[in-house]
Amino acid sequence: MTLRLMVLSDRMLGGTSAYSKVTYETCTRLAKLGHQVAHIPMGMANRMGKQVYENVLVYPSGTTPWGEDVAPQHYLDFKADMLITIKEPWVFKHLHKEGINFVPMAIIDHSPVSPSITARLDTAFKVIAISRFGQGQLRGSNIKSYYIPHGVRTEIYKPLTEHKADCRKLWFLDPDEFVVGIVAMNRARKMIPRMLRGYKQFCDWNPDVKTHLMLWTDIRGVTSLEEALPPGVADVGVNLLPEIMNLGLGEAVRWTKMEEVKKMGGLPEWIGNDYKAGWDMVKLYNTLDCLLLCSGGEGAGLPFLEAGACGVIGITTDYAGGPEYVGSGLTVRADDYVVLNTPGTRYALASIDKMAEALTKVLNADRSKLGRKARRFAERFSWDRIVEAYWKPFLQECKEELYPKLSKEGGLSSWA
């Protein structure tokens, strides 16, 4: 007997967000372990009825942004043992009050942890923490959690050392320049305008350095309906173009028309050795000398793992979960914090001077050596290892609690 696991999150099929990637890997890999797995896509993504994709039963989405209107019904229909949610718990209004085995991933990108999160965890069957930082915050609120970090497909994300110049040519960048990348959704909490100021300071300090900033985000700041709903004030996008021009970075910053990317269904992770028209995330990361993500706070930091697996060092704010995922990269202290969302949580303001200093350190360092260290660190987070070291023991404990078997010979085990 195996467990019947239902996962509520961003769509696993056709999605490009970090949540979509984690959902796809979680669902398909747990199915490969022999469990029965079902998925409810949030955001009204599936309106075509039930379908099976890579041995995962995909249920129809609801008419509310977070799927709460259909989750209990689908849970009963699937006869699920657990409902795992991959989304900040504070988006839910009543799901945590339902008579189900609720297993939320407690995605925490701030300190102290908001009561809007902890108040939704009291009734949980189990709580998953994706960072040691988050686990510590929960421990301070007397909430037990299980550490299961995010992973990266190290067999796909890898250094393309022999093709770095080809990758740069794809993105209209010169092979001999210092390329900084920002890969993040355009949301207020990501502090992209502040990172632009850090890059501007770096350029002012190093006027003779040939450099570009590759800005992989929607510079218009388009915000969907569900992202604009409370408590997502911090998820409102901002128009970055005025700030880019006001800082005099019009020539130094490169960006992409995201409407064209959306027509492609999002940028694929890897489409093969096509260096003439083969745009994908692996080649994008391989154009960079470093990844800059000094946001207001990261619950995890999947871009750090993806970039690191490609041999690219990261720079992040010394706050929340980012430092755990940047590994051998650099951290930048925060000067202050700002409160800009409905729950009133603190988002860090990374030091602009320290950002520029960190970029200068990477510029002057042996970047090949840094890249090898970044790759070795990312390999610790390969999805194969995450499943073996964290998911398997967690699910075994769940089995023993859901289906206990007590015998004189073997003690407590599971019927499952």
Indicate whether 156 belongs to any domain. no
Question: What pairing do the DSSP bridges indicate for beta strands 404-407 and 411-414?
Answer: antiparallel
Per-residue model confidence as pLDDT tens digits over 60-109: 999 999 999 999 999 999 999 999 999 999 999 999 999 999 999 999 99
pLDDT at residue 15, as a whole number: 84
Q: How many domains does the chain have?
A: 2
Residue 260: band (very low, low, confident or very high) from pLDDT cuts 50, 70, 90 = confident
Same domain for 226 and 183, yes or no, is yes
Same domain for 175 and 137, yes or no, is no
Indicate whether 105 belongs to any domain. yes
Residue 182 maps to which CATH number?
3.40.50.2000
Indicate whether 153 belongs to any domain. no
Residue 133 maps to which CATH number?
3.40.50.11930
Residue 310 has pLDDT above 70, yes or no: yes
Same domain for 324 and 293, yes or no, is yes
Same domain for 257 and 319, yes or no, is yes
pLDDT at residue 259, as a whole number: 81
Cα separation, 248 vs 246, whole angstroms:
5
Taking every pair of Cα atoms in the chain, the longest distance, rounded to a whole number of angstroms, is 76
Indicate whether 217 belongs to any domain. yes
Residue 140: band (very low, low, confident or very high) from pLDDT cuts 50, 70, 90 = very high
3-state helix, strand and coil shares in percent for the chain, rounded to the nearest 5: 35, 20, 45
HSE-up of residue 386 (Cα within 13 Å, Cβ side): 22
Q: What is the mean pLDDT of residues 2-12?
A: 96
DSSP states of 66-110: TSTTTHHHHHHHHT-SEEEEES-GGG-SSGGGSSS-EEEEE---S
Cα separation, 57 vs 376, whole angstroms:
35
Distance of CA 125 to the CA centre of its chain: 24
Distance of CA 74 to CAs 41, 81, 99, 256, 415, Å?
12, 12, 13, 39, 25
Residue 16 has pLDDT above 90, yes or no: no
Same domain for 199 and 140, yes or no, is no
Q: What is the mean pLDDT of residues 166-186?
A: 95
Same domain for 281 and 298, yes or no, is yes
Residue 221: band (very low, low, confident or very high) from pLDDT cuts 50, 70, 90 = confident
CB-CB contact of 326 with 301 (8 Å) = yes
Same domain for 75 and 96, yes or no, is yes
Cα separation, 244 vs 246, whole angstroms:
6
DSSP, res 154: T
Same domain for 122 and 210, yes or no, is no
Same domain for 368 and 262, yes or no, is yes
Asked, as a colleague might, if the bond just before 193 is cis with ω within 30 of 0, I would say no
Residue 255: band (very low, low, confident or very high) from pLDDT cuts 50, 70, 90 = very high
Per-residue model confidence as pLDDT tens digits over 388-415: 999 999 999 999 999 987 666 666 665 5
Distance of CA 270 to CAs 142, 266, 283, Å?
42, 12, 8
Same domain for 264 and 303, yes or no, is yes
Indicate whether 154 belongs to any domain. no
Instruction: Evaluate if pTM is beyond 0.75.
Output: yes
Q: Which of 118-127, 218-227, 379-388, 406-415 has the lowest mean pLDDT?
A: 406-415
Helices 352-364 and 192-205, interaxial angle, to 10°? 60
Per-residue model confidence as pLDDT tens digits over 266-292: 889 999 999 998 999 999 999 999 999
pLDDT at residue 63, as a whole number: 92
Same domain for 366 and 336, yes or no, is yes
Q: What is the mean pLDDT of residues 295-306?
A: 96
Per-residue model confidence as pLDDT tens digits over 360-381: 999 999 999 999 999 999 999 9
The closest of 289, 299, 249 to 374, measured between CA atoms, is: 289
Indicate whether 155 belongs to any domain. no
HSE-up of residue 138 (Cα within 13 Å, Cβ side): 29
Residue corresponding to tokens 């093969």? 272
Same domain for 88 and 232, yes or no, is no
Distance of CA 55 to CAs 63, 356, 398, Å?
25, 47, 22
- Per-residue tokens: 106: 């407690």
Q: What is the mean pLDDT of residues 240-266?
A: 90
Residue 157: band (very low, low, confident or very high) from pLDDT cuts 50, 70, 90 = very high
Domain that holds residue 236: 161-379
Percent over 90 (pLDDT), the chain: 83
Cα separation, 202 vs 208, whole angstroms:
11
pLDDT at residue 410, as a whole number: 62
pLDDT at residue 414, as a whole number: 59
Indicate whether 55 belongs to any domain. yes
pLDDT at residue 408, as a whole number: 64
- Per-residue tokens: 26: 């979680």
